[in-house]
Structure 1
Amino acid sequence: MVDKKEVKVERSEPATPIEKANEGHVRGGFALSLAKCSTPLALTALSFYLRFYNIAANDHVVWDEAHFGKFGSYYLRHEFYHDVHPPLGKMLIGLSEYLAGFDGNFEFESGAKYPDDLNYASMRRFNAVFGSLCTPVAYYTATWMGLSYPTSLLVGLMVALEHSYIALSKFILLDSMLLFFTLTSFACMCKLNSLRHAQLTKEWSLWLLLTGLSLGCVCSVKWVGLFITVIVGLYTVIDLYRHMCDAQLSRLRYYKHWLIRIIYLIAIPCIIYVCCFKVHFALLYKSGTGDSSTNTLFQINLEGTQIQNSPRDLLFGSQFTMRSHGLSPNLLHSHPQLYPDGSRQRQITGYSHFDSNNVWEFNFVRKQKYDPNKMYLITDGVEVRLVHNNTRSNLHSHEVPSHVSRGNYEVSGYGHGAQGDDKDNWVIEIVDQLPSANPDFPDEDANILHPVSTFFRLRHKVLGCYLTSTGMSYPQWGFSQAEIVCKNSWSKRDKSTWWNIEEHWNPKLKIAEDYVPPKSKFWTDFVLINFAMASSNNALVPDPDKYDSIASSAWEWPTLHTGLRMCTWSRDTTRYYLMGSPFNTWISTFSILVYFFVMARIAYKWQRQTLTLTEDDFWALLIQGVMPFLAWMTHYLPFALMGRVTYVHHYVPALYFAILIFGFVVEYMFASANIYVKYPAYLALFGGCIYVYVLFAPMCQGLTGLGSNYLKLQWLPTWDIVI
């Protein structure tokens, strides 16, 4: 039922410039109604045609198809991999490959020619569907924002003819999926705004649900989806504040508003995100290239794992590798290189991949008497000395500050088997013991250290601190490997101080063939894989020793200072140049500058009381101007501020919101104009958009033959379309 207290009667006469901007979609007769019905269909047909046209012209692996096509094939082969992005988009790519009849055996090497029996065109069309559907979503978004019909048509046409959107839609990439779900998230928010007087109705609840579904999907394609989530969250907070200020609204109904938003906008997106990883883990049940990003239990349960069964009891003299339980689940590692400062002793790091420098040996502490003919078990509370197998240095700590994290001690490789001191000594503290997944395997002694199933800590005998993986990385002098320190830890549940033995070798002991390792826990795997994604993202920094010819800075995108060659630039190849439409990009960038003057003028007139802003005016201004601008900022500024390497395609979502800002500016400028000014201006904008698309169409539809044929496209010397 509609809450009668929330229903308000709209005025029939517009009283302000903001409301006058909404007149266009009210006036008009049958012709206008027919145009409004046919326009989205025509725009959608145009969008599909431009993105599907000649989609198979380049029969080689283009740009990031080398990554995402390969990731999709892993789902068909069920091999576990690791990437910096969540799995939804890549699972959809895997679905497209499955539907195309692909067997998963092509490696998608960069620039490689597609085999004749591989239906790569079908895979690309699957991706192009997402890019094509962005156009009707953009049109309806502008309509739901309250923009007039000509402005909505202009926004839809600009999205349909945007060169960068078309180019990205033609290949097996994530960008079209990301853009589509970003657009649907913002569109649903605009639709909710248009239904703000009918909240808690079935229609409003349906659109709130669709908003949550869109947010869940966009965040499950790329973490960039968090930016549009922030915008929807901000709008929701403003809307809830409106309800809080409503004295006629009961507290019970106010809490109901909170509850339904928490369920639809927080719980449902989180469920979608988690479920994507659940499916991701279920599909990738074989050992693959991404094993090293996970913990031991996850790896050993993969089909074809490299971790083999080993003797179940560890002795003094056993050789082993040990993996951290921290957010960076790396193997304890050392190498001959020294710390550049501090102790200047050998580096101790965490390294996730299999390497002979990961192997250590349990030795007795110095001056301890023992019978060399006896076998001594490694038990809870025993004192040990860890010796690196290759360098023969001792695992050592001392009161030297750690190199990256603060408040911890450096851990180093010191001396050798016969040389050292008491600071080489560590105490085993067993914290957990998991039973075998084989119910017939006998229970193991919880006081004895066992590979895989025993979780333990290493306490420094002298300092009392614990061997820890901080989750941070060393600079280039440490090969960007994980930082290992000695940390004062007051909680036994501090997982960063937990370790387990992964591989174990001892010729004196027999391998337990009937031992079945415990199953890993989903939530542990989920947290670790997300932290590994974050670590991989943070590692994508520019290499000062390597020139990246296709990288660009954020300031270059809204100015069109440069573009990006998506493939080899041979004249025998159909070539694609990723760059925004000069019309769309330059005019939308200019409109952002004009936007400030428009908002300043509205604020000035409102302060001078020459402009009256009603509640409806406020919401129109919010959804048409403020929210698109904030969305542009949240999608652009992070890339301008972050230290990671950036490329042209990172501006794709921000460009869309710049186009919406342009729509708002145009609407404001022509709201009060007479038809002899308004319609010629709109026709000029339509014509400019179409003309520039046609002129630069080869950039996204494919350049062929000699570069000299396209000299007319080289508007700026920084563009490398021709040379």
Structure 2
Amino acid sequence: MSQAPRRRAVNPKEDCEQIPLYPVSSRSQNTSLPQTNVDYSRSSYDALALKKDSEEARKPYWKKKETLWSWTTGGLLVALAAIVRFWGIGFPDGVVFDEVHFGKFASYYILREYYFDVHPPLSKMLLGLAGYLSGFDGLFDFENIGDKYVDPAAGLNVPFKGMRSMPAVFGSLTVGVVYWIMRESGYPVAISAFSAGLILFDNLHVVETRLILLDGALILFMSLSLLSYIKFHQLRYRPFSTAWWAWLSSTGFFLACTLGCKMVGLLTFCTIGTAVVWDLWGLLDIKRSHPLTMEHFSKHFLARTICLIVVPFGVYLSFFWLHFKILNRTGTGDTFMSAAFQETLMGNELLMNSQELRYLDTITIRHKETNMFLHSHVDRYPLRYDDGRISSQGQQVTGYPFNDTNNNWQIIPTHDIPDSGRGRICRHKDIIQLYHPMTDSYLLTHDVASPLTTTNQEFTTWPKADINSRYNDTLFEVVLVEGFEGEPWKTKSGWFQLVHVPTSVKMWTGLGTLPDWGYKQQEINGNKAHQERSSTWFADEIISDESLVANRTGEKEVKKVVPMNFFKKFFELQVLMLQHNAGLTADHPYASQPIDWPFDLSGISFWTDNVDNQQVYAIGNLLGWWICVLGLSVFVGIVGADALARRRGIQPIEDHLRNRLYNNTGFFLVSWMFHYFPFYMMSRQLFIHHYLPAHLSSALVAGSILNFILTETINYPVSVAGTTTRLRPRLRAVITKRAAVVLGILSLAVVGMFGFLSPFTYGSTGLTPTQSGYEQKTSFNLDPSL
């Protein structure tokens, strides 16, 4: 490459708006730019100052032309992304993979029926809005993969294309946002378009954003969060200006939207939070050319606290307020929630039919989580277990899934009760006995190890004829969940824990089943862990007993919807979401591990048609993903080599290039790290689509590194100048012919790989023998029936 001419020295008092005719070769010459003298500047940052006064009048012709070309390119990319995502959006015309869940949730918003899910509600509310605007009545149940949306014979005409269109719009806009991020970071049009193209022509992004799924909104809001913070950072020399506040507030708003789609939005918070802490650390530096007073620094700190913590929290709360406001009727999610929560839902059958329990009532008791009945029968525990332990050989007490007379238990008082009236009501913290009529015995637990869980106590029964010898061991305290003194114990809604009085253990059951001698029924035992949430039970129903009818006075209470404090509802749901999210540990044939994701080693079969040899298979663009991996690796290599060289007194990279590389590309890398590495610490079920936010970040890194390799300069500066800024000279990054050829080849290769994998993406074309045999050449776990 020919040597570029050296730029003349710049006098700070001059206008500094003259542009060199050719780009300055910053690596071939050791040409240092003049140091800036800017209010609020930091030596570790790019002091990228642009004078705004009369800027349009003094803007060079090439700048105007590039701006027009830049906007045109961005618009074309978004249009092309829309074509790629909307093409054939009506196929498959049946339910695809997780549309089973998220289509169903969207229908619940239209029907206004309460449901429970581990994800926050924003994406699902948007899908519900798309269905509502498309004319969906919410009656299609999205029950099974492959169920047809349109079936004239069955009277089905679900407007699924309209519901799929909203994620497709989000996916198309994401491509434009990625391009915008790169342009605002100072990269040329071609480089910015290449990064956007890695998202535009990525098969996994396309699949996830053309179906009724959550990730389209998640990725869009995540990218808008990054863009907003970059725009805010450009205004760091004009703190507290209107634009400064606007972009800082929009960062907080989009962070809340990201978190409102999925809990992984917390990782985007961590990304922005790290950048904010680094920024504040620089502002605190007393060695700055213009150090801030602590009062001024406190204003910066308070502004970020309000806009990046208070505002997002308020917006996040508003999503749940709207969620509760819409879903005000009983639905499938009732049983996950507390009795107080269920009382807020119109038509909740459990609470409408709840009755106060009285002593001597015969009831059935069920476990809240597993729905098993508390059960006993005449069979006994074996004297000796397989591991050699000795049991009490008492009567078995188990969890049983079906209705049976052996599920009946009578509430026996331990104190005198009146013949009638409210004095017979069993209340919170009353001491009772549970009598088993079918075997004429009382429930008992004692200090003997249970059959399966040796750390827990065995539950058994003791015959009524000899009750005096073990009376104390049959005493249990009824502790209502969040109960208050004197609160009546009720059927259906009265969740309780049964606490053994002498030993303080709680009656508990898990998923462990007894061997053949226990008829494969669920083990019941006494758990010493008082915080164990799975020790919660409820009285299911009162068994009819004519002899006690006279003891009941008045008609059954007609229940009305009872309001509940919003924050109590909010925090109850947050805890349940986190608990159940962590509990998604079951095996899945298409689950994958984080180590596989960057290399695109596995995917997910969304839908299969064996007759026509068609399949929708979610997998990334192999070439595009490997370019991103190489970009990450090269960046780490460059930073390492630069650190070693500087250790030896060599400056291989100019300061302004190094600042851009470290601060901007480093920001993208931090985003990738936060959106990727935390998954290694998660024990829950994971899939390749969890890598999508990290993949977007890696596409930004790849474009930045490609710019570093292919161009000799950067677009410089890119930030907005303050009112007292000493200006720097401008540089313009120019894509050489050689660089253009390299970009063209890489782009065509990425598009070609997208085309090759497109039958998996769209599923509308029968797979060729070459594509069907691709499984043998890769580690793709395609449907084996193809």
CA contact (8 A) 1:144 1:191 kept: yes
Alignment of 1:254-269 (within 5 A): 254-269=297-312
- Please state if 1:235 is matched with 2:285: no
Q: Where does residue 333 of structure 2 map in the other structure? A: 290
**Aligned pair partner of 1:362 in 411, 415, 433:** 411
**Aligned pair partner of 2:574 in 513, 530, 539:** 530
How far residue 106 of structure 1 moved from its aligned partner, in angstroms, is: 0.8
- Please state if 1:485 is matched with 2:527: yes
Equivalent-residue separation in structure 1 for 2:180 and 2:524 (angstroms): 48
Equivalent-residue separation in structure 2 for 1:395 and 1:523 (angstroms): 39
Q: Where does residue 423 of structure 1 map in the other structure? A: 473
Give the secondary structure class of the aligned counterpart of 1:62: coil
Q: For 1:160, give the aligned amino acid.
A: L
CA contact (8 A) 1:395 1:412 kept: no
CA contact (8 A) 1:397 1:410 kept: no
The C-alpha deviation readout for 1:444-481, integer Å capped at 9, x for no partner, is x9476566898987654323x37488xx9666889999
Alignment of 1:242-641 (within 5 A): 242-246=282-286, 248-308=291-351, 314-320=357-363, 334-335=374-375, 361-365=410-414, 376-378=424-426, 382-387=430-435, 396-398=444-446, 410=456, 412-416=458-462, 418=464, 421-427=471-477, 446=486, 460-463=500-503, 465=504, 467=506, 485-486=527-528, 507-508=548-549, 509-510=552-553, 512-516=555-559, 518-543=562-587, 548-572=588-612, 575-611=615-651, 620-641=660-681
The C-alpha deviation readout for 1:478-526, integer Å capped at 9, x for no partner, is 999999734579xxxx999999877656753246444536443333332
Q: For 1:276, give the aligned amino acid.
A: F
Q: Where does residue 736 of structure 2 map in the other structure? A: 675
Q: Where does residue 652 of structure 1 map in the other structure? A: 692
Q: Where does residue 53 of structure 1 map in the other structure? A: 87
CA contact (8 A) 1:36 1:149 kept: yes
- Please state if 1:696 is matched with 2:757: yes
The C-alpha deviation readout for 1:89-116, integer Å capped at 9, x for no partner, is 1111111110110111111122111125
Q: For 1:535, give the aligned amino acid.
A: Q
The C-alpha deviation readout for 1:410-454, integer Å capped at 9, x for no partner, is 4653215626552221345789878xxxxxxxxxx9476566898
Equivalent-residue separation in structure 2 for 1:320 and 1:512 (angstroms): 19
Q: Where does residue 442 of structure 1 map in the other structure? A: none
Provide closer, same or farther for how the CA distance between residues 258 and 706 of structure 1 changes in structure 2, counting only shifts above 3 A: closer
How far residue 571 of structure 1 moved from its aligned partner, in angstroms, is: 4.5
Range moving further from structure 2, 669-678 or 155-164: 669-678
How far residue 133 of structure 1 moved from its aligned partner, in angstroms, is: 0.5
CA contact (8 A) 2:105 2:128 kept: yes
How far residue 712 of structure 1 moved from its aligned partner, in angstroms, is: 8.5
Provide closer, same or farther for how the CA distance between residues 428 and 80 of structure 1 changes in structure 2, counting only shifts above 3 A: closer
CA contact (8 A) 1:169 1:176 kept: yes
How far residue 282 of structure 1 moved from its aligned partner, in angstroms, is: 1.9
Q: For 1:424, give the aligned amino acid.
A: T
How far residue 694 of structure 1 moved from its aligned partner, in angstroms, is: 3.0
Alignment of 1:160-171 (within 5 A): 160-171=200-211
The C-alpha deviation readout for 1:272-300, integer Å capped at 9, x for no partner, is 22222222222222222111100112224
Q: Where does residue 724 of structure 2 map in the other structure? A: none
How far residue 565 of structure 1 moved from its aligned partner, in angstroms, is: 2.2
Provide closer, same or farther for how the CA distance between residues 31 and 71 of structure 1 changes in structure 2, counting only shifts above 3 A: same
RMSD: 4.5
Equivalent-residue separation in structure 2 for 1:500 and 1:123 (angstroms): 40
Q: Which is higher, the Rg of structure 1 or of structure 2?
A: 2
CA contact (8 A) 2:110 2:132 kept: yes
Equivalent-residue separation in structure 1 for 2:344 and 2:595 (angstroms): 47
Equivalent-residue separation in structure 2 for 1:304 and 1:57 (angstroms): 38
Give the secondary structure class of the aligned counterpart of 1:682: helix
Provide closer, same or farther for how the CA distance between residues 702 and 454 of structure 1 changes in structure 2, counting only shifts above 3 A: closer
The C-alpha deviation readout for 1:666-719, integer Å capped at 9, x for no partner, is 122224389354332222222322332333333323342354274596683433
CA contact (8 A) 1:163 1:579 kept: yes
Provide closer, same or farther for how the CA distance between residues 562 and 242 of structure 1 changes in structure 2, counting only shifts above 3 A: same
Range moving further from structure 2, 75-84 or 495-504: 495-504
CA contact (8 A) 2:505 2:526 kept: no
How far residue 605 of structure 1 moved from its aligned partner, in angstroms, is: 2.9
- Please state if 1:134 is matched with 2:169: no
CA contact (8 A) 1:598 1:665 kept: no
The C-alpha deviation readout for 1:11-43, integer Å capped at 9, x for no partner, is 9998966999999x9994554333212111111
Range moving further from structure 2, 97-106 or 312-321: 312-321
Q: Where does residue 148 of structure 1 map in the other structure? A: 188
CA contact (8 A) 2:398 2:522 kept: no
For normalisation by structure 1, the TM-score amounts to 0.81
Range moving further from structure 2, 268-277 or 497-506: 497-506
Q: For 1:415, give the aligned amino acid.
A: T
How far residue 398 of structure 1 moved from its aligned partner, in angstroms, is: 4.6
Q: For 2:272, give the aligned amino acid.
A: V
Equivalent-residue separation in structure 2 for 1:402 and 1:187 (angstroms): 58
Range moving further from structure 2, 75-84 or 309-318: 309-318
How far residue 214 of structure 1 moved from its aligned partner, in angstroms, is: 0.9
Range moving further from structure 2, 140-149 or 226-235: 140-149
- Please state if 1:202 is matched with 2:248: no
Q: For 2:122, give the aligned amino acid.
A: L
- Please state if 1:34 is matched with 2:65: no
Range moving further from structure 2, 128-137 or 659-668: 659-668
Give the secondary structure class of the aligned counterpart of 2:432: strand
Equivalent-residue separation in structure 1 for 2:741 and 2:525 (angstroms): 64
Q: For 2:345, give the aligned amino acid.
A: L
Range moving further from structure 2, 297-306 or 586-595: 297-306
CA contact (8 A) 1:316 1:378 kept: yes
Equivalent-residue separation in structure 2 for 1:304 and 1:480 (angstroms): 33
Range moving further from structure 2, 624-633 or 409-418: 409-418
CA contact (8 A) 2:628 2:701 kept: yes
Q: For 2:226, give the aligned amino acid.
A: F
Provide closer, same or farther for how the CA distance between residues 431 and 620 of structure 1 changes in structure 2, counting only shifts above 3 A: same
**Aligned pair partner of 1:75 in 109, 134, 139:** 109
Q: For 2:761, give the aligned amino acid.
A: C
Range moving further from structure 2, 314-323 or 580-589: 314-323
Provide closer, same or farther for how the CA distance between residues 183 and 481 of structure 1 changes in structure 2, counting only shifts above 3 A: farther
CA contact (8 A) 1:332 1:358 kept: no
CA contact (8 A) 1:455 1:500 kept: yes
Q: For 1:516, give the aligned amino acid.
A: K
Q: Looking at both structures, which has the greater relative contact order when contacts are Cα pairs under 8 Å and sequence separation is at least 6? A: 2
Q: For 1:68, give the aligned amino acid.
A: F
Q: Where does residue 184 of structure 1 map in the other structure? A: 224
For normalisation by structure 2, the TM-score amounts to 0.75
Q: For 2:608, give the aligned amino acid.
A: T
Equivalent-residue separation in structure 2 for 1:540 and 1:498 (angstroms): 20
How far residue 249 of structure 1 moved from its aligned partner, in angstroms, is: 1.2
The C-alpha deviation readout for 1:214-250, integer Å capped at 9, x for no partner, is 1111111111111111111111111111122246312
Equivalent-residue separation in structure 2 for 1:161 and 1:176 (angstroms): 15
Q: For 2:459, give the aligned amino acid.
A: G
How far residue 187 of structure 1 moved from its aligned partner, in angstroms, is: 1.7
Equivalent-residue separation in structure 1 for 2:400 and 2:26 (angstroms): 64
Provide closer, same or farther for how the CA distance between residues 107 and 144 of structure 1 changes in structure 2, counting only shifts above 3 A: same
List runs of 5+ in structure 1 lacking aligned partners: 1-8, 435-444
List runs of 5+ in structure 2 lacking aligned partners: 1-14, 34-45, 51-58, 152-156, 515-519, 714-734
Equivalent-residue separation in structure 1 for 2:89 and 2:190 (angstroms): 31
Equivalent-residue separation in structure 1 for 2:502 and 2:757 (angstroms): 71
Provide closer, same or farther for how the CA distance between residues 160 and 447 of structure 1 changes in structure 2, counting only shifts above 3 A: closer
How far residue 350 of structure 1 moved from its aligned partner, in angstroms, is: 13
Give the secondary structure class of the aligned counterpart of 1:45: helix
Q: For 2:740, give the aligned amino acid.
A: Y
How far residue 393 of structure 1 moved from its aligned partner, in angstroms, is: 7.3
